[in-house]
Structure 1
Amino acid sequence: MSITAHQLYDVCEGTWPPARTWDEGPWTLRDGAGGGKRVSAATALGDVTDGDIPRAEAAMRDMGQQPLFMIRDGDDALDALLEARGYDLIDEVVLYSVPIDQLTDKPLPRVTCFNIWEPLAIMKEIWAQGGIGPARLDVMERAQTKTGILARWNEKPGGAGFVGIHEGIAMVHALEVLPDQRKQGVAEWMMRAASLWGAKHGATHMAVLCVTANKPANALYTKLGFARVGMYHYRILPE
């Protein structure tokens, strides 16, 4: 089965859900409750005009959110309209996927990764060091089928991650490796642990999102056999 970018947009929404989502005119709007751009950005339901943009801007401002749009595959016209209005382009993101059995072919070293939910205090501490605070933990809590991954390396905590499943695809979010544990293979074992958990819960594919600026993470996913499926970026109104 070939995975499409639009499938992964849905998987992202299902595994990293906003506090509230609703359609208004030609837009899907999201109340992120402080959980970051992915759960706060507006997206177009189809073709939009320049005259449609103020409606979305007003709705976001009413929620106390800065006007922010996610530009997905096929949204070139919207991208141009927002650029003309002075919106800045930020955070180009690559969507990756791989058949899950390509990551379940190696047994994990003993006492390396643990599937844990609710998150332990050490997991929250690791996430906090990476800027993943309480509002993003609330995002994780809203997901339905999920687990946390706690890595242990060199006989001490190594990293933390989050995995959710939506429509047969397991997606990894919030993968953080402690600075003194990096470049030792910890992230790879965490991805394999996520895949083993996903396969056990019926997933056929793994997926992950990565900003283009994160060169080491993009290199890791390519090394593991992930294929680039699509992209998205944001347009934000400077304030």
Structure 2
Amino acid sequence: MTLPTPATLFDTLDATWPPERYQQQGDWLLRIGGDGGSRVNCATPMVDAPDLSGCGPLISVRGAQGDLDAQLDAAGYRIKDACRLMVVRSADLAAQLPAGPRTIAGDGPIARMLEIWQAGGIGPARLAIMNRANAPKSYIAGRVGDRPAGCIYVGAKGNVAMLHALEVATEHRRKGLARDLVAACGHWAAQNNAEWLSLIVTEANTGAHALYSNMGFTDIGGYHYRKMEEAQ
């Protein structure tokens, strides 16, 4: 079994969670995404030994780049949000989807999904990211009883899909709904010719790590951000 590479997952990330625009500045590719968070507002080097001029305040250091890390550290960029890349075969995950209408996939979010996302800190800027993604995608709601209680977004590029924005309403957590939503993403991926489902999770989120590992996800590598330390 040949797992997707981290580079493939980064391509999937850019396709399914895109910035508003890209800008080349010196040796750097800048992502510009307003209030959409780090993933759409970071720079990545376009050469092996980049000049730091024009790199901006937030850098995504992808994989083992010891020389770049040392260079950024010396320039006052400090580590922020170390993350892990995880993948699972979509068909294996789809097999974990429970019988019955616990999850419903659609082409856009319903009102209750927007409420759940908003309560979890996923506001208009991140919803705009989902909307502008020019890739096969789906919005999936999860139910407890007859009412939507959680939601997730998933998109694909080629053979790899990636899930984002998993959120379960506070009063409905610890009922297995997060697991069902992740499995539903695997089902959607398999139905849309994406052999693999991937995700990104921060190293600090140990609860999510436990869930994903238990569901069969494999950690294939990591990355972190470096942010310019503000002057005191």
Q: Into which bin does the TM-score normalised by the smaller protein fall?
A: over 0.9
How big is the shift at 1:110?
1.6
CA distance in structure 2 between the partners assigned to 1:148 and 1:37 by the alignment: 22
What amino acid is the match of 2:78?
D
CA distance in structure 2 between the partners assigned to 1:7 and 1:74 by the alignment: 16
CA distance in structure 2 between the partners assigned to 1:214 and 1:182 by the alignment: 16
CA distance in structure 2 between the partners assigned to 1:15 and 1:126 by the alignment: 21
Partner of 1:10: 11
Partner of 1:55: 54
Q: For residues 150-204 of structure 1, what are the alpha-carbon distances to aligned partners after superposition, in whole Å with 9 as ceiling and x for unaligned?
A: 1101433221110000121110000011112112211111011111111111110
Partner of 2:27: 26
Match of 1:146 among 113, 122, 137: 137
Partner of 1:182: 173
Partner of 1:206: 197
What amino acid is the match of 1:21?
Y
SS in structure 2 of the partner of residue 206 of structure 1: strand
CA distance in structure 2 between the partners assigned to 1:82 and 1:235 by the alignment: 7
Alpha carbons 2:97, 2:187 under 8 Å: kept: no
SS in structure 2 of the partner of residue 71 of structure 1: strand
Question: RMSD of aligned C-alpha atoms?
Answer: 1.4
TM-score norm. by structure 2 comes to 0.93
Alpha carbons 1:93, 1:212 under 8 Å: kept: yes
CA distance in structure 1 between the partners assigned to 2:176 and 2:109 by the alignment: 22
Q: For residues 176-234 of structure 1, what are the alpha-carbon distances to aligned partners after superposition, in whole Å with 9 as ceiling and x for unaligned?
A: 11112112211111011111111111110010111111111110110011000111111
The sequence identity of aligned pairs, in percent, is 38
What amino acid is the match of 1:17?
P
Match of 2:157 among 166, 185, 193: 166
What amino acid is the match of 1:208?
L
Partner of 2:211: 220
CA distance in structure 1 between the partners assigned to 2:77 and 2:201 by the alignment: 22
SS in structure 2 of the partner of residue 165 of structure 1: strand
Match of 1:157 among 148, 152, 165: 148
How big is the shift at 1:107?
4.5
How big is the shift at 1:25?
2.9
Alpha carbons 1:108, 1:193 under 8 Å: kept: no
CA distance in structure 2 between the partners assigned to 1:117 and 1:77 by the alignment: 44
Aligned length: 228
TM-score norm. by structure 1 comes to 0.91
> What residue ranges of structure 1 are gaps of 5+ in the alignment?
58-66
Partner of 2:74: 84
